[in-house]
Structure 1
């Protein structure tokens, strides 16, 4: 893993009118690393992601890319750097097939004519490289399962060879098998040396694939934890700002019963 972060946020602040959404937030993500960004509703996760993706310009602080300061004022700025964001709504067109969705806006043309053969070839190659199982690249996207749709959206984000992939709640509303498919793909992104920023409310998913967990609370940093050495209770306590909650009480009861 590289010592220099692919992305480093230094003292990021963002205000919307009278509302201070982010205050002095720091965050680092390195190549070959999955960092989970967690926090309660309203903690500032979405705002922070949108500042990196170029949806919102920061008010204060510095964004560093590969160790140098950069300015991200619009989504194209982020894309040009090598930042790909897969939002929760996926932005897939149900009336198009998998190939059509993968190359939407990036169509390959030969002599001014769409090169369907080449786009299909590259689609198969990309999905095979990522071990994504789709019945056919010509199947309508509307007929895919939730997990398959999510993997197609992630695969589409990789066509530009991004260095950082941001995944916004990628397993929300998915079943167990579909969730496993998506988490397997996150693992493969790490193996391909991508930096991954994963936004999630699901602690089981976070513990399964993340290397580190960054907690936001009320728009501020409230801890960065190494998943291998941190309990779920510690992360939940950082999210809620309280050491006494349902998770910690349940753990305490279980420990008490074992001691009896």
Structure 2
């Protein structure tokens, strides 16, 4: 687990996001450290998705700032976030179901070779690199690298989406949006192990989940959102699921910052 007293890898300060007359986020902070899993929880509409879309460059904040290692960041879009070492694996996974695993790992960033001056897809190298990142970074060997992604299990598809993100050597922060939402128990367990592997490799992993069981399985800290505000940040080791549920629903209407 990361040292909570160390400077955060990524820091969001005073984040506000307005859509017309609606305030989706109101003065929200977030700290994420290398080598930890920070879970963000809250009911639908709490502001979780808006917050991570700002972190990953999809939205720009109405107010507030984002820093990495103390340096202010400026992101106009998601590609800027990726270039800065921040990426996300969303619940939809964004895989091309008709393409095999390697093609999905390099989707949009295909490797090419040149034959007689004509650029061609380097399918052999993409397959080799995909197999390497899946095994070296995630410990995953797919049974078939030639079948379309649609034929793979939910956990295998999740591994391909993660491999696409971690292939970038400069990745520092990875957001996982509901990674186990459509998985059975065995596939969920495998995906949670992948998250633990990424933490052990020193990434700052931000986990968005409605499953408190999953959160308490892999997270080091939990940030609770409610109605566009941060209402608590707690160490998993210090609380129970009932404590976190109380923060989610506003039991006692107290703000808890025991592990900010």
Instruction: Tell me if both proteins adopt one fold, taking TM over 0.5 as the criterion.
Output: yes
Which one of 227, 239, 244 corresponds to residue 236 of structure 2?
Answer: 227
**Structure 1 position 152 matched with structure 2 position 155:** no
Match of 2:75 among 72, 75, 97: 72
Q: For structure 2, which runs of at least 5 residues remain unmatched after alignment?
A: 254-260
1:53-87 Cα shifts (integer Å, max 9, x gaps): 11110011110112111112211111110111111
In terms of Rg, which structure is larger?
1
| Map 1:94-113 → 2, pairs under 5 A | 94-111=97-114, 112-113=119-120
Structure 1: state its 5+ residue gaps: 245-260
Q: TM-score, normalised by structure 2?
A: 0.91
Question: Residue in 2 aligned with 1:54?
Answer: 57
Task: Work out whether 1:216 is the aligned partner of 2:219.
Answer: no
Q: Decide whether the 8 Å contact of 2:40 with 2:225 is kept in 1.
A: yes
Deviation above 6 Å: which 4+ runs of structure 1? none
Aligned length: 244
Distance in 2 between residues matched to 1:16 and 1:73, nearest whole Å: 17
Post-superposition CA distance 1:68-115 (Å, at most 9, x none): 111122111111101111111111001000011011111111222221
Contact between 1:123 and 1:137, CA under 8 Å: does it hold in 2? no
Q: Give per-residue Cα distances to partners, 1:154-196, cap 9 Å, x unaligned.
A: 1111111311000100000210001011000000000110110
Tell me, in whole angstroms, the C-alpha distance in 2 between the residues paired with 1:189 and 1:242: 34
* SS state at 2:54 partner: helix
Is the counterpart of residue 118 in structure 1 residue 141 in structure 2? Answer: no
Aligned to 2:150: 142
Matched, 1:11 2:18: no
Matched, 1:206 2:206: no
Whether 2:156 is the aligned partner of 1:181: answer no
| Structure 1, 128-137 or 95-104: larger mean CA deviation | 128-137
Q: TM-score, structure 1 length as denominator?
A: 0.91
Greater shift in the superposed pair: 121-130 or 197-206: 121-130
Q: 2:173 aligns with which of 157, 164, 179?
A: 164
Distance in 1 between residues matched to 2:60 and 2:93, nearest whole Å: 23
Report the Cα offset of residue 141 of structure 1. Answer: 0.4
Q: 2-side partners of 1:55 and 1:103: how far apart?
A: 21
Q: CA deviation at 1:243?
A: 5.0
CA distance in 1, matches of 2:225, 2:55: 15
